[in-house]
Chains A and B, each alone.
Chain A
Amino acid sequence: MMHSRAATPQEILLPVKPAFIVATLIAALLVNLLPWSGWWLWVRPDFVALVVLYWCIEQPRKIGFTAAWLLGLLMDVADGSLFGQHALAYSILAYAGIVLHRRVQRFSITPQVLHVIPLLLLNDVIVLVIRMLTGADFPGYQYFAGSFVGGALWPALSILLKLPQRPNADPDHV
């Protein structure tokens, strides 16, 4: 199962600092809380979902359900939506990330995106189903655009969040 395709030679990174994980999650929450409006609202990916998924794939032993669930609750309050819908969606996202992390880690960045987009779509679909069960209308297919944008941002995010773990010294030295 894991021998599908070898990625580029693996870099050996420094261990990630828990404080850095917390900082990135808070930053994601902050970006989500920016006053987006108009069509930006449609193409805006759910940054919290994206970063939670990233850490669940990259560091499944350092972050898990509790963080995802609590962030979900905060998003629910900020959005004024039903309590628990984002919490549920993020928990399932975290589960998918943790279960798939070995598989996804073996791929290079581009095929990783193809794993990430369906997971983000799953996240959207969960929220959508809960909203429609509680009486909302289908908001249109543009609702899913954010997930694709999120997938497109994955390579950049992946590089950005690995930066602090890069050793300073010459990589050949390691």
Chain B
Amino acid sequence: MEHQPPPFFKTGPTPFARLLIFALLSLALLVADARFKYLDVLRAVAAVIIYPLQRIAGAPASIARRAGEFFVTHSSLREENARLTHENLGNAALLQQLQSLQAENAHLRGLLATRERVNTKSVLAEVLYAARDPFSRKIVVDRGFQQEVKSGQPVIDHAGVVGQVTRVYPWLSEVTLITDKDHLVPVLNVRNGLRAVLAGTGNDSALELRFVPLNADFQNGDRLVTSGIDGVYPPGLPVAEVSNVERNAAFLFARITCKPLAGVNSHAQVLIVSAERDMPQRPPGEEKPVRAKKSRKGG
């Protein structure tokens, strides 16, 4: 079992020297990635290497899900069908209204000579897995730039905003959820049009409104939708509902906790929306943010 080589055998650098080399390499990568974002190509290469493993690892769960779908009972299918028909009827009425409203809106906007607001297209994506990193809230979905997903596109489910595409690989992309600690969404209070910035907390069921003055009119149950002023999220997508407002005069800002409307952690499929909007040029000197990092005060 003794492996100590006599000194006349060449064994290369000592372990400590090797450790130094690899540690320095890793640190260089860390700094390059954290500060300069130069490593997208390297990351893409590694992503391609690991892609088959990711698909294989995801296979048991997706097979189980499909098997589960196969063995649904007749009654539950009928129930679901009845519910969906019902929903569909309700939606159809809204949709007809929407069409006429859209036409009217376009007409009015034409009269006022203002810009068209949004022109949305969407791609359905399946969630492969939630990132195993306890520090961040991310999911990986099975659509990448081969399917024309772009970094920065918002991701929604049937109830509201789920997050935003932050990294795109050839066949996969990474979505940062709105509950991620570093994620900000500019929102609008539907009830009174107050603007604010909604930030994740790292907690799955809580978001907080940042920089809202103590006297701002936010109440429990207020619905927040995207304001669209960031140029990233199309306006009007539901995001969250205010669940708790705490006003303490000792602090500068009110403490407003919200609940995400979308099932941020509980879906198998999401919709990646590509909102092509004609935005005015950004003022010079401001780099184009990938994330919606804006801190506009409400009111």
**Knowing that A33-B58, A35-B128 are A-B contacts, what are 14 other residue pairs whose CB atoms are under 8 Å apart, sorted by A's residue number?**
A33-B50, A41-B130, A41-B134, A69-B22, A69-B26, A73-B29, A77-B47, A79-B132, A82-B34, A88-B30, A95-B16, A102-B3, A131-B135, A136-B135
Contact of A77 among B34, B43, B134, B181 (CB under 8 A): B43
Known: A36-B132, A80-B167, A105-B1. A69 touches B25 (CB 8 A): yes
15 A-B pairs within 8 Å (CB atoms) are namely A10-B1, A33-B53, A33-B58, A35-B57, A41-B134, A68-B22, A77-B46, A80-B133, A80-B167, A83-B39, A83-B42, A91-B26, A92-B23, A99-B15, A137-B181
Query: Inside 8 A of B58's CB, which chain A residues have their CB?
Result: 33-35
Contact of B129 among A29, A35, A44, A66 (CB under 8 A): A35
List chain A positions with a Cβ less than 8 A from chain B: 10, 26, 29-37, 41-42, 44, 60-61, 64-66, 68-69, 72-74, 76-85, 87-88, 91-92, 94-95, 98-99, 102, 105, 130-131, 134-137, 139, 143
State the interface size on chain B (CB cutoff 8 A): 49
Q: Which of A78, A82, A92, A135 has the most CB of B within 10 A?
A: A78
The A interface, classified by DSSP as helix, strand, loop or mixed, is: helix
Query: Inside 8 A of B115's CB, which chain A residues have their CB?
Result: none
B135 touches A72 (CB 8 A): no
Number of A-B pairs, beta carbon distance below 8 Å: 131
The B interface, classified by DSSP as helix, strand, loop or mixed, is: helix
A12 to chain B, nearest CB (A): 9
A74 touches B26 (CB 8 A): no
A9 to chain B, nearest CB (A): 12
B50 touches A83 (CB 8 A): no
Question: B55 — nearest CB in chain A belongs to which residue?
Answer: A33
* Complex-state Cα separation, A51 to B177, whole angstroms: 31
B135 touches A80 (CB 8 A): no
Contact of B27 among A35, A84, A95 (CB under 8 A): A84
A80 touches B140 (CB 8 A): yes
Which 4 A/B pairs are nearest by Cβ-Cβ distance? A84-B29, A88-B26, A33-B57, A35-B129
Query: Inside 8 A of A105's CB, which chain B residues have their CB?
Result: 1
B260 to chain A, nearest CB (A): 17
Query: Inside 8 A of A42's CB, which chain B residues have their CB?
Result: 134
B128 touches A82 (CB 8 A): no
* Complex-state Cα separation, A99 to B60, whole angstroms: 39
* Complex-state Cα separation, A88 to B25, whole angstroms: 8
* Complex-state Cα separation, A74 to B42, whole angstroms: 11
